[in-house]
Amino acid sequence: MIDTSTRILVKFAASMPRQVGAVAIFVSSENRAPGGGVLGDAERSAANRLIEAGLFQGKSREVAIGIADGEDGGESATRVMLAGLGEAKDVSADRYRQAAAALIRTARRLKITRITMVIAADPRVMPAEIGAALATGALLAGFQFDRFKGTGTSGDEEPSRDEIAVTLVGESATARPVRSAVDRAIIVADSQNYARTLACRPGNDINPPTLANEAKKLAKATGLAVRVLDEKELAKLKMGGILAVGAGSNAPPRLIVLEHRPAKARASSHPLLVVGKSITFDTGGISIKPAEKMGRMIYDKSGGMAVLGLMAAVARLKLPVHVVGILSSAENHVSADAYRPGDIIRMYNGVTVEVTNTDAEGRLVLGDALAWGIETYKPTAVIDLATLTGGVIVALGREMAGAMTNSDELMTQVQRAADRAGEKIWRLPLGDEQREQIKSDHADIVNSAGREAHPLQGGAFLSYFVPRDNSVPWAHLDIAGPADTEKETPLYAKGGTGWGVRTLVEWAAAQAE
């Protein structure tokens, strides 16, 4: 259906399959291998031998391998993989998620192509939560972006791909809720990997028009409604922000709208609105970035890719909630037509902006999209996601997004969704002080007022494009830190992470309930 760059096949079973491959058991640092249930005596004994011999400590993400049915390696021998959960008091769904990811990485390194993961009773985490976490961890760790890998031949052949089949086995008594949770987790993780696949595609492959084509493909595959506003329509609507940012590129900007409106949700005409910054490549414009690591600016579209992942998930899950996703897409380039520091532009809602830094472009494309989206769809709540500022990385690091909002209630909803998803956010202040900081001498506001409190400036800027009376709950997520990674993390390989998809799905699902 859609390219997820995933080489993992996950399914659930209520009993041990005939061909188990390697049997994976999850153990905390205080526990022996679990008794009873679906685990056989030979596998349990092999696991306990590893523990008693001191070859496995149960540390978080630790993996050890032994042999069941004797240690002669004969045809009847079965590999037993132990995966650590850390100290018992710290065991959570996220620990299971990371343990599954560690297992997949180990399996790939050892060329193990089939793993049976045992969902054992755990007083700290419900079986359905364990199943969902294992499916998510396996699928996220199984992501391999090899779309552009050469083969050393004609270039027409597919590179070899190592697929791993994962079977999650649970007690028959809890099979129904676990199966349901696993099926849901597979859809969400696939949608996140779809977002990662698009985020990783380079600027010569994805630009605003080709991104619009990808959105159309998604809409056709999932039944979403789609609308694309080209540069002529954007000019008619007087969207000065997105037009200014896109003026320097020969690939014109696009505003891409996807809509999920199931029959059960038609009683309400007011959707949830999610808006994503989708800068397909960011040179910084005339305020050009340093050459070092500029190639990583392909990930400046990650906010929009999270929106695509959300829309893929809500459509496939058939959530009974009306959701509109908007991708505000431009390429920030340098040319004779590029916008300049000192320019004054008029945004869709009439707010005028003095450009002080062409590398603060994300807030310009988002401002137009927010104002137009709120006016057009009259949403019940709005979330935007953007790789907006390097300052948020300085403040919060690479694993956490900064959140700013005009609504305590919406912040509570988003925080709960992020906690369930295992994604980290931290609330940052948003007030009159920040709005005052970005006042302009010659226009209403500037797009950048220097380095001080730069993440807060971004939120303050965007607040000019949502109703000032706070009648529309709105949250801004600055995902510059977790949107991509330059090193392997417990869940992710180098590259785009698809951060935000799981949180957005949890939020939308909660509103449906």
Q: How far does the chain reach from its first CA to its final CA, in angstroms? A: 28
Contact by Cβ (8 Å): 281, 204: no
DSSP-assigned letter for residue 297:
G
Q: Where are the alpha helices (DSSP H) in 404-500?
A: 408-421, 432-437, 454-462
Rounded to whole angstroms, the Cα distance separating 164 from 170 reads: 19
Long-range CB contact pairs, 151-159, < 8 A, 24+? none
Rounded to whole angstroms, the Cα distance separating 328 from 315 reads: 21
Q: Which of 49, 289, 398, 416 is catalytic?
A: 289
Read off the tokens for 218. Answer: 């998604």
Q: Which of 196, 277, 316, 363 is catalytic?
A: 363
Q: Taking the CB of residue 270, how many other CB atoms lie within 10 A of it?
A: 13
| Residue for token pair 């976490």 | 133
Q: Residue 289 catalytic?
A: yes
Contact by Cβ (8 Å): 414, 475: yes
Q: Return the sign of the alpha-carbon dihedral for residues 185, 187, 192, 196.
A: positive
Read off the tokens for 373. Answer: 């989206």
Read off the tokens for 105. Answer: 């990485």
| Residue for token pair 């998510």 | 136
Rounded to whole angstroms, the Cα distance separating 322 from 226 reads: 14
Contact by Cβ (8 Å): 459, 476: yes
- Which positions are annotated as active-site residues? 289, 363
